[in-house]
Structure 1
């Protein structure tokens, strides 16, 4: 291209630079100023991916900083991966602004291609770094979770073998992506005078997509035998299923990216197919962040005691409303006295029985009840007493214990009469003095 440009006259060169970057199809007129695009697709997909990845990143960071209070190598790798992820999103927005998403190459001038190819070149580099670091973080996290400290079992060596192969592979791909040409500028500026390119970047992209999909599948199935072999509750299994589903979506995105890379090499309209490749790569990275960060939700909930606090709040709210019952609505004639909630809360609704006696004293009748709890409950005594009448002879005989159900003993001139389950209302009608005092 550079040699051909050098043989052109200034007028011919300017006409070439202002012409389309790809010959348009028959009867198609290039539209350089307002090319047709589909910006609505990245306009929806990119914000959703950014929000999901950010939530996963923040959940993991919060759990490690405030709950575990310990930062390890996977967390450092996650931060590095997230930085590259944000850079990749910025470059995607830059391409969305100019020339646009799914814009045909014949709607772009030749002189504008270097400014478009440069963000694409950077995007590939940041993608490789992000995938390398987040996959390494996931594998190290698998080892930390499923392998006891100091144990070197088969799962341990499998994880480290995959980690080693991924690291070597992605470092090689990263080197090839950065230095496909000499000088480097020729990688995104084909009109650069001089230099040469010795590496077929399209073949490298296809190989990268194939091995990337293979590693995604292997990382997904690697811990499944251990996970489903554990004795877990249904709630825990549902959480594991969510992570497994996210991993499947990640593999699907990697598969679509591989198909897009293959179609990219067969099509001359490279600019149009680049958008689908970048969106699939973005979705794949987002799923990786979710796989790594979502499990931190359980740790956050466990350490913050949210379920117990929620139950305590409900109990506190319930305690604001007094518990009332009427003897007229109950077949046993039970009645709730003021303050009887103390006994009910302590006895956990165990049946209680009380005995009400008519005592004689020199100063008039004095009434007293004593409360007992059945054998299934702990003995409980209430310190809440109410003096009905001052008794100069006996202090204890002037007290009444507040109860929920009473059994009365009524004495009439030496004759004993006992009625079980009688309510205080009935007793008060026969003893006006006691009714007035109460």
Structure 2
């Protein structure tokens, strides 16, 4: 065996005093690595599938951001392949003195591939996110005059240019190119990679923080209830996950750059790189979840199981607005419950509409006489809701005024009782 072969098969770093290196079966934490890598990969895959179902199946739409997210997931698969391959070459949390020197070449190549794919994945996800924000939060007619829209365009440009610059720098780290991972090429010219890693980490953290605060001012200026604003803000607030992941990634990058035991410390860096990409998929795909829950009826089923209608009231606390009127003895319960409070005709009409919209069957109006006439005597007149027609939208096509005389109603009711009728059906 030549001296070079002996050197390449020996430990990559001299062991500490008194330590005998195990080059055949070194100690590792591959079990932890498998858990983290599988978890991040599964989360990312589920997010993409959920968004694909919501966009393609339910909404039947395919837009630019969808193509960007699918492309990002394809590149992410390359990064995941590199991360999983390191389990065999040489393993996670393996000390350098228990790694053969020749093993560093394929390991460095896998890290090189992962560095390139990581940059591209984050760029595609952030561009998709910003493009979607610019589309849904700014009206098309006012885009060119919107500060938020122009902010999104500037951030998109910075993301694209930054990605191109970092990828070019990574691939020009050494000349010839193969020397970026093959240290046996002795006549190569290289620059320190740590400065590039540190600079990219700072840039990613700064852009994540900016993007976290960008949409919230616009959201809270929208014309909607504060509850809806808070819900939308929470969805967009998921960007905090990316900020946390980017901060930890920057921290471990600094530690990795100053560590002499590189093969042991690379595990933390890879884990946070995978976590940052997974957070990117969560943030870009989470806004489709409410649409899926709405279309599949999950929200409505939960509300019905809790006795909650769209008015936000329950059976026991609201005087019966959300009550199921199909039960025995409750044929006119909707009418009697509405009569418990002085509601205008439009509110009552809305109550019927919301009750029917929630899937609760309307009760039989042929209730007992006392209940049915109780509601009719509640007001002397009603103004019916406008009848839908083919006229211009927003105009009243026809109105119907129904006037009911209490005395006439009572006489008619008495006659029906004398005739032996126990139930009175009133035309509604």
TM-score under structure 2 length normalisation:
0.71
Aligned residues: 341
Task: State the partner residue of 2:149.
Answer: 156
Task: State the partner residue of 1:130.
Answer: 121
Equivalences for residues 283-298 of structure 1 within 5 A: 283-298=275-290
Task: State the partner residue of 2:89.
Answer: 98
Task: State the partner residue of 1:241.
Answer: 234
Task: State the partner residue of 1:171.
Answer: 164
Q: In 1, Cα distance between the equivalents of 2:58 and 2:225?
A: 23
Q: In 2, Cα distance between the equivalents of 1:85 and 1:56?
A: 13
> Structure 1 residue 190: deviation in Å?
0.8
Equivalences for residues 21-32 of structure 1 within 5 A: 21-32=12-23
Q: In 2, Cα distance between the equivalents of 1:297 and 1:350?
A: 35
Task: State the partner residue of 1:185.
Answer: 178
> Structure 1 residue 78: deviation in Å?
0.4
- Change in 2 beyond 3 A, CA 1:215/1:303: same
Q: In 1, Cα distance between the equivalents of 2:219 and 2:325?
A: 45
Preserved CA contact (<8 Å) 2:92 2:263: no
- Change in 2 beyond 3 A, CA 1:305/1:378: farther
Task: State the partner residue of 2:79.
Answer: 88
1:228 aligns with 2:227: no
Preserved CA contact (<8 Å) 1:176 1:199: no
1:211 aligns with 2:199: no
Q: In 2, Cα distance between the equivalents of 1:320 and 1:32?
A: 76
Task: State the partner residue of 1:302.
Answer: 294
Give per-residue Cα distances to partners, 1:18-53, cap 9 Å, x unaligned: 111112222222111221222233233222222322
Task: State the partner residue of 1:376.
Answer: 375
**In structure 2, the residue corresponding to 1:96 is in which secondary structure?**
coil
Task: State the partner residue of 1:269.
Answer: 261
Preserved CA contact (<8 Å) 1:114 1:189: yes
Q: In 1, Cα distance between the equivalents of 2:248 and 2:303?
A: 46
- Change in 2 beyond 3 A, CA 1:308/1:266: closer
Q: In 2, Cα distance between the equivalents of 1:321 and 1:160?
A: 56
Q: In 2, Cα distance between the equivalents of 1:96 and 1:40?
A: 9
Give per-residue Cα distances to partners, 1:76-131, cap 9 Å, x unaligned: 11011111222212221111233221111111111222121111111111101101
**In structure 1, the residue corresponding to 2:267 is in which secondary structure?**
helix
1:41 aligns with 2:32: yes
- Change in 2 beyond 3 A, CA 1:167/1:370: closer
Task: State the partner residue of 1:60.
Answer: 51
- Change in 2 beyond 3 A, CA 1:34/1:345: same
Q: In 2, Cα distance between the equivalents of 1:225 and 1:320?
A: 44
Q: Which has the larger radius of gyration?
A: 1
1:198 aligns with 2:190: yes
- Change in 2 beyond 3 A, CA 1:145/1:195: farther
- Change in 2 beyond 3 A, CA 1:397/1:225: closer
TM-score under structure 1 length normalisation:
0.70
Preserved CA contact (<8 Å) 1:181 1:197: yes
Structure 1, unmatched stretches of 5+, are: 1-9, 324-335, 352-368, 380-395, 405-438
